[in-house]
Amino acid sequence: MRVRELVEGFNLKPIAGEQGLDREVKGGYCGDLLSDVMAKAPVGCIWLTVQGHLNIVAVAVLREMAAIVITGGREPDVETVQKASQEQLPVLTWPHSSFELAGRLYALGVGAAPTP
Amino acid sequence: MASLKKFFFIKARDFVHAGEASIHIQSLLKSMHWDPVLIRRVAICSYEGEMNVVIHGGDGVLNLSIENDRLIIEIIDDGPGIQDISLAMQPGYSTASDEAREMGFGAGMGLPNMKKNADDIQIESEPGIRTRASMTFLLESPKETP
Ligand SMILES: Nc1ncnc2c1ncn2[C@@H]1O[C@H](COP(=O)(O)OP(=O)(O)OP(=O)(O)O)[C@@H](O)[C@H]1O
Ligand SMILES: [Mg+2]
């Protein structure tokens, strides 16, 4: 599954890194504590978080993530958008809770894949 | 295996450039075609060490060296230091500010994650003067997949 298909299927709003929309999504993770995400998020995952500040980009790059979704109606900071664009990392927004989106993604089969 | 040395400056409280040294090291190791699992372990350790300097430490430097069968990441900062290292190593222990916690730091998992992912870790600190964390990765020693 590609990031683009999830964007279209769930009406996620791309804010940055549209160049990366064809990345493959290999799993999912929800987390707002960065050291937890850094240690446990599956490689190639789509990451659901309420954090919108710049430091989420480094975590996503280092974990080789497919995309970040900022949930709960929050918006990324301007610096986050700039940095994510440089890294061609899709940053998307979703107006409802991480729980609601995670449930839908899981039902679609995202997140059932084991960590490589 | 050729030897290689590189260093990166890390500035305390500079959240804008935080993580860049680790991203640089990750791409370097990828270009050298290292084992992906090893690269991930190194990335976790360098990132957590780098963020600890940004959040808790003073200005510092990260030294990367690759020699023969090992990669070493040494991070030194001229900051407040750590009073009780074994306490700091405990999962969940954190002195992060409210501001850092709001950003999602301060779970007290950085040092435990570093310990788990490095083959060896040495942390030394002179309170009020400096902190040094040195992590060694052996090139042929599969640890648990992060
Ligand atoms: N370079 C440093 N200088 C001073 N104190 C440090 C340094 N590194 C770690 N510490 C101390 O050790 C504690 C534990 O560090 P650790 O990385 O495990 O957790 P944290 O940074 O507080 O939270 P997290 O890493 O989960 O975001 C810190 O809260 C801080 O008190
Ligand atoms: Mg830490």
pLDDT digit string (tens) for B3-29?
899 999 999 999 999 999 999 999 999
Q: What is the pTM of this model?
A: 0.95
Q: What is the pLDDT of residue B145?
A: 53
Name the minimum distance, in Å, from the CA of A99 to any CA of chain B: 18
Write the single-letter amino acid at B98.
D
Whose CA is closest to A17, among A92, A69, A90? A90
Percent of chain A exceeding pLDDT 70 equals 96
Reply yes or no on whether the pLDDT at B2 is more than 70: no
Alpha helix positions (H), chain B: 20-31, 36-55, 85-88, 98-102, 110-117
Cα-Cα-Cα-Cα dihedral of A110, A49, A12, A29, to 10°? -10
Cα B117 to Cα A87, A93, B41, B49, B63: the distances in Å are 26, 32, 5, 12, 18
Residues B7, A31: Cα–Cα separation, whole Å: 31
Which atom of ligand 1 lies at the shortest distance from residue A36's CA? 26
State yes or no: pLDDT of A43 exceeds 90: yes
| Range in A33-42, A58-67, B73-82, B137-146 with the lowest mean pLDDT | B137-146
Q: Which residue in B19, B37, B35, B44 sits closest to B114, CA to CA? A: B44
Domains in chain B, please, with CATH? Answer: 4-138 (3.30.565.10)
Can you give the pLDDT at residue B140? 77
B85 lines ligand 1 (CB under 6 A): no
Mean pLDDT confidence for A106-113: 84
Q: A3-108 adopts what CATH topology?
A: 3.40.1390
Best of B51, B52, B111, B117 to disrupt the A interface (most A CBs within 10 Å) is B51
At residue A55, φ and ψ (nearest 5 deg) are: -70, -10
The Å distance, Cα A75 to ligand 2 centre, comes to 25
Q: Is B109 in the pocket of ligand 1 (CB under 6 A)?
A: yes
- A68–chain B nearest CA distance, Å: 15
For residue B1, pLDDT over 60 is answered with no
- Pairing between β-strand A91-93 and β-strand A13-16 as defined by DSSP bridges: antiparallel
**What is the interface pTM, i.e. ipTM, of the complex?**
0.92
- At B32, the pLDDT band (50, 70, 90 cuts) reads very high
Per-residue pLDDT tens over the stretch B65-111: 999 899 999 999 999 999 999 999 999 999 999 999 999 999 999 99
- CB-based contact A89:A18 (threshold 8 Å): no
Q: Find the residue in A nearest to B110 (Cα).
A: A35
Contacting A residues, span 36-65, partner chain B, CB-CB under 8 Å: 36-40, 43, 49, 51, 53-55, 57-59, 61-63
Domain locations along chain A: 3-108
Average pLDDT of chain A to the nearest whole number: 95
pLDDT at residue B144 in the model? 53
Residue A63 to residue A28: CA distance in whole angstroms: 12
Positive or negative CA dihedral for A94, A96, A99, A102? negative
Q: Are A27 and A113 in contact (CB under 8 A)?
A: yes
Beta bridge partners of B92: none
Ligand 1 proximity of B79 Cβ (cutoff 6 Å)? yes
Q: Is the pLDDT of residue A113 over 70?
A: no
In this prediction, residue B48 has a pLDDT band, given cuts at 50, 70 and 90, of very high
Tell me which residue has tokens 């059932």.
A112
pLDDT at B146 over 60: no
